[in-house]
Structure 1
Amino acid sequence: MKKLVSIVIPAYNEADNIFVILESIKKVFSTLNYDYEIILIDDGSADNTLQNIRNFASSSENIFFLEFSKNFGHQLAVKAGMDNAFGDCVISMDCDMQHPPDLIPDMLNKWEEGFEVVYTVREDDKNLSKGKRKSSGLFYKILNWLSDIELEPGAADFRLLDKKVVNVFRSFNENEPFLRGLVKWLGFKQYAIKYNPGARFSGESKYTFKKMFRLALHGVTSFSIKPLYSAVYLGFILSFASILYVPYIIYAFVNNVEVSGWASVIMTIVFFGGLQLIILGIIGIYVGKMFMQVKNRPNYIIRSTNIPVK
């Protein structure tokens, strides 16, 4: 009996990419001795993505879909796909052809060798703008510096997970999962494959600098309380620095020297006021995460699907 490979593909406004990615995967598996199924997750698309998915699913027995009631985000879309994938292994990949399907045989080979997690690391893409490459590098530097996990620069959401790993993932109920970090945190036998990203077939990248920064901040606060410790250390340093100012005050008082005017006072107030707001913001992020989690709302809502009830 052939092993079943489940492929999870989140899609947000990817109408023009659906046909290309499905045909590419079909071509790859035509040379492999595996059964496969494809689970596409429409993450609240505003274009014809869902309609195109439905058209392919209606004519194929191994193409399934989940339609979200709104846009819940890429990470939850992947999580929803894994929650509904019951193959011997699960491969998650993007819909835009930047995760090359031709890499799937190599991932399966490593899985057959006994690795339970086969993840990919993107080589530096010279076709990307200088700003995009810098923001990507900054993302990993911030994440590795402030969090308790270590991600290789270029680590992607293109990965293979053995079914025992997926079963563990199903037990997670985080409302904002950071999957790259969770995969590292889980352990198991892992292997990294480097790849050169393919050209995006259609559309534009959804990861702007703002989203990259937010993802980095989310990754840090999901896996570490280092920012809270940093705030405490900074408070001690600044308190000590303020003590160094005492001798000058005494000298000015004894010698009747005029103390600096309003400009220096205002600058000091603004500086420390801003610092306090940053620290309060860090604390607020952690409190906000707890607030959202304890509500125990569903992490995503499925509006429609063609996946049979198991």
Structure 2
Amino acid sequence: MSKSQIQYSIVVPVYNEELVIGETYKRLKRVMDSTEEAYEIIFVNDGSKDGTVEIAKTICNMDKNIKLLSFSRNFGHQLAISAGMDYSSGNAVVVIDADLQDPPEVILEMIKKWKEGYDVVYGRRAKREGETFFKKFTAKAFYRTLKSMTDIDIPVDTGDFRLIDRRVCDKLKSLPEHNRYVRGLVSWVGYKQTGVEFVRHERFAGETKYPLKKMLKFATDGIVSFSYKPLKFPLYIGGAVSAISVIYFIAYLLKAVITGTHASGLNLALSMIFFLVGGIFIILGIMGEYISRMGDEAKGRPLYIIGDKEGFKDEA
């Protein structure tokens, strides 16, 4: 099967998904076979330490439509998505996680929208099943905060589950930045975009690959990559502190005039000092995030390293 014959590329990043990858393959195969068009499914192994790779290789050996990329180590979810897109051959590329929270059956709706002329069709989560209140609340707050802080129209309540046209994929491949926020990049390149709603299910099996630490890192990537507003925080903080200082000074004078005494402002002064010191460290931390990312880009290292490939021809 040559590249020109492949209509759809399904990119599936996997990390320690031995409990679910078999079922993921079955459901994706059933959906894609129903299109009666040529397709490939690319599993991208992001440094799994369980039996994920062995299962994926077995699937590759029995199904010529399945391919496997294995990183030399764990490079992260967003770079796994990027690698899958880089090695994809289809006229349309679909990104979907392996946990089956995003139903593969929705891909058929995305394909329909694509054939209507849309270049990007993203999945919008109308409902999230099996998630804690904390996860739902923080996700909702993050998407709306990011939208308010950027000039780019990044749809809220969406993940990386989406279909993109080949020309959009090629534009994304030309973007070299390391700390990637793929869904933001997809919005940044533009083109004709629309969404389809779906109910996000509970994980089929296994544990989430986005604990709180990774969620915070992901949120930081999104904000720092697409907004310079945090760099303006020092101005806001400085203005607020100045206003508080003026108000305190006026209140201190009025109290002294009315009571005829000299009220001690030592405790408040100490509080102000600690507040200022904390603010300085926050500002330095924000600046450090931007500077460190500039350093990452200046180093010019590759985004990822492929340790092994299965199912790819020499010319792929």
Shorter-chain TM range is over 0.9
1:118 matched residue in structure 2: 121
Q: Is the 2:129–2:200 contact (alpha carbons within 8 Å) kept by the matching residues of 1? A: no
* 1:37-94 CA-partner distances (Å, limit 9, x unpaired): 0111100111011111111112221211111111111100000000000111111100
Quote how far apart the aligned CAs of 1:258 are.
4.8
* Aligned positions of 1:129-208 closer than 5 A: 129-208=132-211
Runs of 4+ with deviation above 6 angstroms: 249-256
Quote how far apart the aligned CAs of 1:5 are.
0.6
Match of 2:7 among 4, 12, 17: 4
* 1:216-268 CA-partner distances (Å, limit 9, x unpaired): 2221110110111232222123224323444466678996725323x333222
Alpha-carbon separation, structure 1, partners of 2:263 and 2:100: 68
2:301 matched residue in structure 1: 297
Q: Is the 2:233–2:283 contact (alpha carbons within 8 Å) kept by the matching residues of 1? A: no
Alpha-carbon separation, structure 2, partners of 1:51 and 1:114: 39
Quote how far apart the aligned CAs of 1:118 are.
0.7
Change (3 A) 1:231 1:20: same
Q: Please, which runs of 5 or more residues in structure 1 have no aligned partner?
A: none
Alignment partner of 1:46 is 2:49: yes
The TM-score normalised by the length of structure 1 is 0.93
Alpha-carbon separation, structure 2, partners of 1:155 and 1:144: 12
1:94 matched residue in structure 2: 97
Alpha-carbon separation, structure 2, partners of 1:275 and 1:205: 34
Look up the equivalent residue of 1:274 and give its one-letter code.
G
Look up the equivalent residue of 2:231 and give its one-letter code.
L
Match of 2:79 among 72, 76, 79: 76
SS of residue paired to 2:70: strand
Q: Please, which runs of 5 or more residues in structure 2 have no aligned partner?
A: none
Look up the equivalent residue of 1:85 and give its one-letter code.
S
1:257 matched residue in structure 2: 262
Q: CA RMSD in A?
A: 2.0
Alpha-carbon separation, structure 2, partners of 1:52 and 1:281: 43
SS of residue paired to 1:196: strand
2:25 matched residue in structure 1: 22
Quote how far apart the aligned CAs of 1:9 are.
0.3
The alignment of Structure 1 onto Structure 2 pairs a total of residues equal to 309
Identity over the aligned pairs, expressed in percent? 37
